[in-house]
Structure 1
Amino acid sequence: MLSSVRSAVEAGELSVPVPGQATVERPKNRDHGDWATNVALQLAKPAGMPPRKVAEIIAARLSEVPGVASVDIAGPGFLNITLDAASQGALARTVVEAGRDYGKNDAFAGLKINLEFVSANPTGPIHIGGVRWAAVGDSLGRILRAAGADVTTEYYINDAGVQISKFGASLLAQAHGRPVPEDGYVGEYVADIARQIVEAKPGVLDLPEDEQLEVFRAEGLALMVAEIQRSMEEFGVHFDVWFSEKSLHDSGAVEKAMDRLREQGHVFEQDGATWLRTTDFGDDKDRVLVKADGETTYFASDAAYYLNKRDRGNEVCVYMLGADHHGYVGRLKAIAACAGDDADRNIEVLIGQFVKMLKDGQEVRMSKRAGNIITIDDVVDWIGVDAARYALARSNTDSTLTLDIDVLTSTSNDNPVYYVQYAHSRMSSVNRNAAEMGVDKGSAEDFKPELLVHEREGELLGALAEFPAVVASAAELREPHRVARYLERLAGTYHRFYGDCRILPRGDEETNDLHRARLWLAEATRTVIANGLDLLGVSAPERM
């Protein structure tokens, strides 16, 4: 497309800068061609010409491109492009030969992104909201890497402050058989951890009370972090960095951060406290860094943590936070602005809504182990890793999500992960059957793409062609659900192709070039589904 624009410019037919990109989409009505673009409307104003005149110039150039059968102008200047069968069918070979690389792009090449997600307090198991971010965050990291970005995935361990002290006191109370302090932590897991500490530290209960408390705080924190790490790894989520909030205080990074912000002119003293003037950058109120009693706030840690991320060379810092953290958006962006960064570019804050789970039509609210929350282990026990990851990643995080356990454990088309995985296993079955029959798709040189002229074949080729653009848009918009929804459409398109286009010969029928061409097409589809599922951290089974 852009080469045709460039040739028109070089020939003096258009006087415009050649755009860096042009929108090319599959038309909803395939009677309108294989591809459609509005590039003529995009260039009309800078060219000083009516859109249809620009469209005529570009259409003439496009018509000369090998493989283009026709170019029609529609409406005010839309271009509808139809490819010949050989050019369209050749995509199957392109996909198979690219393999795992099909769908990747270099849109974010060289861009270093820090992606922080989950980051739940290490005072209990990961709850259902954190599970959503685990699935979405890990998928987003994979998609951004597929777009060429250098991504560091990170978990921020909130191991400093009041909540950790309450956790330690709750463990100590459990160990002594005393009531848990007010606002403390309850649930079987608290008793389990307290029991583990007593077993690992004989004599701990004979220490002075303050020393006992410190042992239970430190050991309980270590055990809880190890438990979270285990849960994440079993859920298929790997973090490149586990970052300790406490390390910011121990290293003096918090004080250094406040000094840097003071040098920028945004720190002031009032009522005995130290503040950051975040209202200068859109926050609803200024934020306290150090209280009047000398206690450093969580906000001071947030500021130090952001600066630490930037000092590590991260150009974009992405925070993925729960629905109860809406208030953090303005203050985090204000930190970036106070530090002299571009708050619209160097920092992004994504907010995810709540998740509900249903069983037998009723909402499930409680965990056997945690008492008052649903944990990641509960979710995995109920529906499995693949179903959980897919179901949690397939919906826009802006909306509340309801997961039906009965649907997600069913082997029916109502279960979206089953529907997509079944398409992959069906294609794998075709390959096994072909091997048993001695049917081979042949070499790339023997492939005859011009034979793929059936309507269903055209639909499937068109769907395969969309995958790179889907990956690119999912990366650009930070929306992994686009990949999942695409896979469901692709699976449906394949199932229709499978029903209408016989792939393998029957009975004594000789294997012909059409059989082999369809094997290439089926293998291309299997490749794309496997690649898409991998971006979501979901397996692509060969048998179901």
Structure 2
Amino acid sequence: MTPADLSLTVLHAVRRAVDEGALRVDVPRDVKVERPRPGGVGDYASSVALSLARPSGRAPLDVAGILKERLRGSPGIRAVDITGPGFLNFTLDVGQGARLVREVGEAGLEYGYSDALAGSVVRFGDVGEDRARLVGESVVRLLRSQGADAAIGSLGQERIHVLPAPYAPDVFGPDAARWALLRAAPHDHALPGGPLLVQHERNGLFRVRYAHSRAQGLMRNGAQLGIQAGYEVEDGAQQLLTALADHPAVLLAAARHRSPDRLARHLEVVADALLSFQHTVLPLGDEKPSAAHRSRLALAEAAGTVLAGGLSLLGISAPDQI
């Protein structure tokens, strides 16, 4: 991980903290990292928590703790320590990418599942309204992915609160119709279905499903070139690695907050990172296959797995070709 990669990773943690409501502050344009000062530890340090303390109305140590929690497990970072009044100190680990790709491969479509909510019993009451029903079904799948005992039934006590909207699979197809109801936050109006039928980069559903199909296509093309996926070297794909590493936390947050839209938005992040990365995966022209190509192919395969698993929790298909 380069200092620039680390800076982006820390900035991403700040943005997550703001998006999740843990910090109320404007996200800075960039985050400076440098070698630790006397009293620091690790490879690099940042004073971002100190600079965000006053505008957030929190103590620097509190801000540092919030960011540390969101940096834990980030690819390329072995440890995060807090020193002095709130400096974040980073110890890097060049093996995190391989670990992450291995975890995705071992878990498959269930990467990000956990027992974090084991012992929780959640019962939603029956609903007849289309959007509430589809959101409820997705929330149940998310809760079960985190170990909760969740179901919808006539004796349920908890309610799904959404702005009503019709489910129109006969007009837009089941996938676009579902995405229209699930991608928007429950308190927002559902998305219009028409634009979701257009294969354009402004269409989030298209980007997610297309990115999955590209991952499958890269695997097929790699096989034709005799390239076997296997993560061997770190190769600067920090944005994609970070997005994949975030997936378990996103599933848990989506389950806890009863918000499938959090997962949908995250899948767009994974898709965008993969689509930006895809052109580097296989050899170009007379370039010979190398360990870097095998590693990139393994990472693309992992991204495709995460996209397929996330779409399945939303009840949406992940085609191999578009």
- TM-score of the pair, normalised by structure 1: 0.45
**Is 1:413 aligned to residue 173 of structure 2?**
no
How is 1:469-488 mapped onto 2 (pairs within 5 angstroms)? 469-488=249-268
Matches within 5 A, 1:434-445: 434-442=222-230
- In structure 2, distance between residues paired with 1:319 and 1:469: 24
- 2:162 aligned partner: 352
For each residue in 1:354-380, what CA deviation from the matched residue of structure 2 results, as whole angstroms up to 9, or x when unmatched? 33xxxxxxxxxxxxxxxxxxx64xx11
Does the residue aligned with 1:541 lie in a helix, a strand or coil?
A: coil
Q: CA deviation at 1:82?
A: 4.9
Which among 271, 274, 296 is matched to residue 494 of structure 1?
274
Structure 1 distance, partners of 2:303, 2:86, is 33
Residue 115 of structure 1 aligns with which residue? 124
Note closer, same or farther for the CA distance 1:516–1:27 as it changes in structure 2 (3 Å cut).
farther
Q: Would the aligned equivalents of 2:216 and 2:320 in 1 still touch at CA under 8 Å?
A: yes
- Which amino acid is 1:134 matched to? R
Match of 1:506 among 284, 308, 315: 284
**In structure 2, do the counterparts of structure 1 residues 78 and 540 end up closer, same or farther at CA, with 3 Å as the change threshold?**
farther
Query: Residues of 2 paired with 1:138 and 1:414: CA distance?
Result: 27
Matched to 1:422, the amino acid is: Y
Equivalent residues of 2:45, 2:87 under 8 A apart: no
Q: 1:396-435 maps to which residues of 2 (within 5 A)?
A: 396-405=185-194, 407-435=195-223
Structure possessing the higher radius of gyration over alpha carbons: 1
User: Who is 1:387 aligned against?
Assistant: 176
**In the TM superposition, what whole-angstrom CA distance separates every residue of 1:483-535 from its partner, at most 9, and x where no partner exists?**
00111111111111124xx2112345332111111111111111111111111
Q: 1:68 to 1:485 in 2, by over 3 A?
A: closer
Tell me, yes or no, if structure 1 residue 453 matches structure 2 residue 293: no
Whether 2:9 is the aligned partner of 1:26: answer no
Deviation at 1:68, TM superposition (A): 4.9
The residue aligned with 1:255 is: none
* Paired residue secondary structure (2:122): strand
Q: Does 2:89 match 1:102?
A: no
Q: Cα distance 1:420–1:30, how it changes in 2: closer, same or farther (>3 A)?
A: farther
- Indicate the residue corresponding to 2:138 in structure 1: 139
Whole-Å Cα distance in 2 between the matches of residues 468 and 493 of structure 1?
17
Task: Point out where structure 1 has 5 or more consecutive residues left out of the alignment.
Answer: 1-24, 39-49, 121-129, 157-304, 310-316, 321-350, 356-374
Counterpart of 2:104, as a letter, is V
1:536 to 289, 304, 314: 314
Instruction: Give me the whole-angstrom Cα distance separating, in 2, the residues matched to 1:86 and 1:93.
Output: 11
CA contact (8 A) 1:36 1:80 kept: no
Q: State the one-letter code of the partner of 1:487.
A: L
Aligned length: 271
Given candidates 318, 323, 335, the residue that maps to 2:158 is 318
Amino acid paired to 2:148 = A
- Alpha-carbon distance change, 141 to 80 in structure 1, aligned in 2, over 3 angstroms: farther
Q: Is the 8 A contact 2:172 2:193 kept in 1?
A: no
Check the 8 A contact 1:34/1:82 in 2, yes or no.
no
Secondary structure at the residue paired with 1:533?
A: helix
* Structure 1 residues 60-209: aligned runs within 5 Å: 68=77, 76-118=85-127, 120=128, 130-154=129-153, 156=154
Residue type of the alignment partner of 2:186: T
Q: Read off the aligned partner of 2:172 and give its amino acid letter.
A: I
- Quickly say closer, same or farther: Cα 1:475–1:78, change in 2 above 3 A: farther
Post-superposition shift, 1:111? 2.0
Question: Could you list the per-position Cα deviations for residues 316-374 of structure 1 after superposition, in whole angstroms to 9, with x for gaps in the alignment?
Answer: x3222xxxxxxxxxxxxxxxxxxxxxxxxxxxxxx21133xxxxxxxxxxxxxxxxxxx
Give the TM-score, by structure 2 length: 0.74
Moved over 6 A (4+): 33-38
Q: In structure 2, do the counterparts of structure 1 residues 385 and 70 end up closer, same or farther at CA, with 3 Å as the change threshold? A: closer
SS in 2 for 1:319: coil
| 1:86 to 1:80, Cα distance in 2 relative to 1, 3 A | same
